[in-house]
Amino acid sequence: MKKTLKRIFYLFLILCIPAGFLIEHEHAVFFWHKIPSIDVVFGFLGAMLLIGGARLLAHLVHKEEDFYD
Amino acid sequence: MLFILGAVLIPLLKGRTKQIYLLVIPVLAFLDILQLEAGTSWVYHFLGYELIFCQVDRLSLVVGYIFVIIGFLALLYSLHIEEDGQHVAAFLYVGSSLGVVFAGDYFSLFAFWEVMAVSSVFLVWYQKEKRSLDAGFRYLIMHIIGGCSLLAGIIIYVVNTGSIAVTHLGTSPADIFILIGFGLNTAFIPIHTWLPDAYPEGTVTGSVFMSVYTTKTGVYVLARCFAGMPLVAYMGGIMTVYGVLFALLQNDARRLLSYHIVSQVGYMVAGVGVGTELGVNGGIAHVFNHILYKALLFMCMGSVLYMTGKRKLTDMGGLAKYMPVTAAACVVASLSIAGAPGFNGYVSKGMVIASAAQQHMPILELMMVLAAVGTFLSFVKLSYFAFFAPNEEIRAKESPLNMQLAMLMTAFLCVLIGVYPEVLFRVLPFQPIHYHPYTPGHVLGTVQLFLLAGLAFMVAKDMLAPHRGTVLDFDYFYRMGGRGIVWVCVVPLSNMRFRLQTSSSRTIDVITRIAKNPIMLLEIPIAYAYFRITQGLRYIGGYSSSEMYNENLYRRPIGVGVLVAIIILFALALIYFIL
């Protein structure tokens, strides 16, 4: 079950990238709206940026459970 | 008013009658709102001003609808609660929030605003733990400060303009005070700390109510008074990213949800701040949708807390097997908040992001896209670690029927609006709506965003795993500032008070002695010296030293006092006649 779900996930992942080249942004305003499949880049880089940012933030603000007691 | 007056009867009812009553009031309120027509009513004259308790337009109606709908669902969820106080607080909270929505003047708005703050704090205190009590007090202090700012702004505004009508505001000092007051309830950064502090400490059912009303009334008043203000728009953008970033660090499930309120309210604030028809429609549509899925998320996590006693993700896992309805509802809510196509969040979030692009605000658009990625990550984390992560130790039962029913009904509404957004579009403030959520480009873009974010989650799952601990926020500065104030009061100020008290006591003692025998004023030092010397000699001679100063031994005859009085009177008369 888990394996099947993973396979479907990867299949969609692979298919969604070329699909982006077939469809245009309906109301392109900024230059990145015109780049095909730009949301793939936003999705991955954004997630990595947030995970990295959260780890960095954790170093600064993560304290022991009874910090305020 | 139905809710506020209806709260009085709750303690008088028992059992099934009370349960029916709790559900009938929101139904009556909904029917009442359906009958309302645009315009003003319930106008009263007070101190030369017009108080308007019922100002109706499309904006107030749409917020009124959702407030009453979720009021019904939250009451259904909390039907098993036997403490009347919780229901009374919830009724007052819902009623006063509706009061803010339909208020047509700043005086009545402020009055309902404060009732909202005071009634909601009881939904935290009813948890009856020390941490809830403390968090409740912090919540109250913050809201009192916000209320003071709002009141100060209203007073300056009324003095300057002579009007108390709720209208669009600008950037004058009065307007800024009002904006700070509204901004505190809307969880502007850095005055948002009351939200992730108090909401996780509320009762299981109380947090469901709290997740709905305070912040959304804030967004509503911003839409009414500060729509189209770039400062508000960018504050919204900052809130979206800030909330998501801090949510990723949380271990307490309800605190994670609370940070997502900050983030999602950011979308609404951004939409309102953009200020175009699409922006305000998007912001208000997001209020509507967010209320549904966020209440559902708090219901799900409340259900887990109620049935297992667990509030931290590190203690959960594997609950889908034991609580399938809660797990399914949580997945629906997670997909809704993440903005997956087919769920309500997708519709309104898209409207807000499109409005930012339309107004050529690229940074705002990118901030909101980044936050959308973070929201997806965060809710994959929540659903996975709460319901699907392996945990052999946990055992639980599904929650009571009323809680399940409330969750299923709310989940149904999330999906209904997702697949048939026209039902929501019809009630939005600005008509007609030229926005089509299900265009191929938009759907594919969202799918790409989520698939890649999902891949990132799979790659960095361990980095996102929850950890025990406290995550500091701006509240660190407030708490340390508070402790500093307490220290100043307890140490230097208290010492100063003690010294002042001692010295003034001595002064009073001296004055009392002099007052007893003022004639002896000049003789006192001599007499005192004589007394000390004789006392010393007596001590040397072996006599008792316990004999104290006795003024009667040195008192002059009464005639001397009369003589002094006559002399003073004579002097006064002389001065009077001469001058």
Q: Is A66 within a domain?
A: no
Prediction pTM value:
0.85
- Please enumerate in sequence order all residues whose Cβ is within 8 A of that of B191, keeping only pairs 6 or more positions apart, or say none: B142, B146, B180, B183, B184, B474
Q: Is B383 within a domain?
A: no
- What pLDDT sits at residue B543? 62
- What pLDDT sits at residue B188? 95
| Neighbouring C-beta atoms of residue B83, cutoff 10 Å | 13
CA distances from B249 to B28, B138, B195, B473 (A): 42, 22, 16, 11
- What pLDDT sits at residue B516? 75
Distance from CA of B536 to the nearest CA of A (A): 58
- Please enumerate in sequence order all residues whose Cβ is within 8 A of that of B287, keeping only pairs 6 or more positions apart, or say none: B63, B66, B216, B219, B220, B268
B437 and chain A in contact, CB less than 8 A:
no
Place B554 in a pLDDT band, splitting at 50, 70 and 90: low
Spatial separation of the C-alpha atoms in residues B262 and B198, rounded to whole Å: 13
Block residue for tokens 């003024």: B551
Spatial separation of the C-alpha atoms in residues B284 and B58, rounded to whole Å: 11
Q: Is A67 within a domain?
A: no
Q: What is the mean pLDDT of chain B?
A: 90
B461 and chain A in contact, CB less than 8 A:
no
Distance from CA of B89 to the nearest CA of A (A): 29
- What pLDDT sits at residue B293? 94
CA distances from B571 to B568, B577, B578 (A): 5, 10, 11
Domain that holds residue A40: 2-61
Which of A44, A47, A62 is facing B469, going by the closest CB pair? A62
Q: Cβ distance B439 to B214 under 8 Å?
A: no
> Which residues sit opposite B213 in a β-bridge?
none
Which of A9, A39, A61 is facing B449, going by the closest CB pair? A39
Q: Is B562 within a domain?
A: yes
Q: Is B533 within a domain?
A: yes
Residue B545 has pLDDT above 70, yes or no: no
Q: Cβ distance B543 to B577 under 8 Å?
A: no
Mutate to test the interface with B, among A51, A55, A69 (most CBs of B within 10 A): A51
Residue B498 has pLDDT above 80, yes or no: yes
Spatial separation of the C-alpha atoms in residues B180 and B68, rounded to whole Å: 27
Count of domains for chain A: 1
> Which residues sit opposite B312 in a β-bridge?
B252
Residue B511 has pLDDT above 90, yes or no: no
Q: Cβ distance B249 to A57 under 8 Å?
A: yes
Tokens encoding B217: 């009334």
Q: Is A68 within a domain?
A: no
Place B548 in a pLDDT band, splitting at 50, 70 and 90: low
Count of domains for chain B: 1
- What pLDDT sits at residue B572? 94
> Which residues sit opposite B45 in a β-bridge?
B50
- What pLDDT sits at residue B459? 86
- What pLDDT sits at residue B351? 94
Name the least confident of B97-101, B488-492, B540-544. B540-544
Q: What is the ipTM of this complex?
A: 0.91
The pLDDT of B227-246, averaged and rounded, is: 94
Tokens encoding B376: 């997806």
Q: Cβ distance B211 to B200 under 8 Å?
A: no
Q: Is B365 within a domain?
A: no
**B42 backbone dihedrals φ, ψ, rounded to 5°:** 55, 55
Instruction: Identify the helix (H) or strand (E) that includes residue B54.
Output: strand B49-56
- Please enumerate in sequence order all residues whose Cβ is within 8 A of that of B488, keeping only pairs 6 or more positions apart, or say none: none
Contact B452 A65 (CB under 8 A): no
B159 and chain A in contact, CB less than 8 A:
no
**In angstroms, how far is the first alpha carbon of chain A from the final one?**
46
Spatial separation of the C-alpha atoms in residues A42 and B162, rounded to whole Å: 51
When mean pLDDT is compared over B213-227, B308-322, B389-403, B457-471, the highest value belongs to B213-227
- What pLDDT sits at residue B546? 56
Q: Is B82 within a domain?
A: no
Domain that holds residue B566: 517-579
Higher pLDDT, B377 or B4: B377
Distance from CA of B446 to the nearest CA of A (A): 7
Instruction: Identify the helix (H) or strand (E) that includes residue B55.
Output: strand B49-56
Place B407 in a pLDDT band, splitting at 50, 70 and 90: very high
Residue B539 has pLDDT above 80, yes or no: no
- What pLDDT sits at residue B520? 65
- What pLDDT sits at residue B12? 82
| Neighbouring C-beta atoms of residue A68, cutoff 10 Å | 14
Instruction: Give the percent of chain B with pLDDT over 70.
Output: 97
B130 contact residues in A (CB cutoff 8 A): none
B363 and chain A in contact, CB less than 8 A:
no
| Neighbouring C-beta atoms of residue B504, cutoff 10 Å | 10
Place B434 in a pLDDT band, splitting at 50, 70 and 90: confident
- What pLDDT sits at residue B468? 84
Query: pLDDT digit string (tens) for B443-480?
Result: 999 999 999 999 988 888 888 888 888 888 999 999 99
Residue B551 has pLDDT above 70, yes or no: no
Q: What is the mean pLDDT of chain A?
A: 87
- Amino acid in position B266: G
Helix (DSSP H) and strand (DSSP E) numbers for chain A: 2, 1
Q: Residue A49: closest CA among chain B residues belongs to which residue?
A: B370
- What pLDDT sits at residue A5? 87
Spatial separation of the C-alpha atoms in residues B94 and B3, rounded to whole Å: 7
The pLDDT of B524-542, averaged and rounded, is: 78
Contact B456 A48 (CB under 8 A): yes
SS3 of residue B439 by DSSP: coil
Q: Cβ distance B326 to B300 under 8 Å?
A: yes
CA distances from B37 to B25, B26, B61, B392, B493 (A): 20, 19, 9, 57, 59
Block residue for tokens 């999330």: B414
Query: pLDDT digit string (tens) for B51-86?
Result: 888 889 999 999 999 999 999 999 999 988 888 899
Q: Is A41 within a domain?
A: yes
Tokens encoding B507: 């002064």
Block residue for tokens 């001599």: B526
Burial (CB count within 10 angstroms: exposed 0-12, middle 13-18, buried 19+), residue B314: middle
Query: pLDDT digit string (tens) for B171-224?
Result: 899 999 999 999 999 999 999 999 999 999 999 999 999 999 999 999 999 999
- What pLDDT sits at residue B461? 80
B462 and chain A in contact, CB less than 8 A:
no
| Neighbouring C-beta atoms of residue B409, cutoff 10 Å | 17
Place B295 in a pLDDT band, splitting at 50, 70 and 90: very high
DSSP B202: S
Residue B549 has pLDDT above 70, yes or no: no
Distance from CA of A57 to the nearest CA of B (A): 8
- What pLDDT sits at residue B327? 93
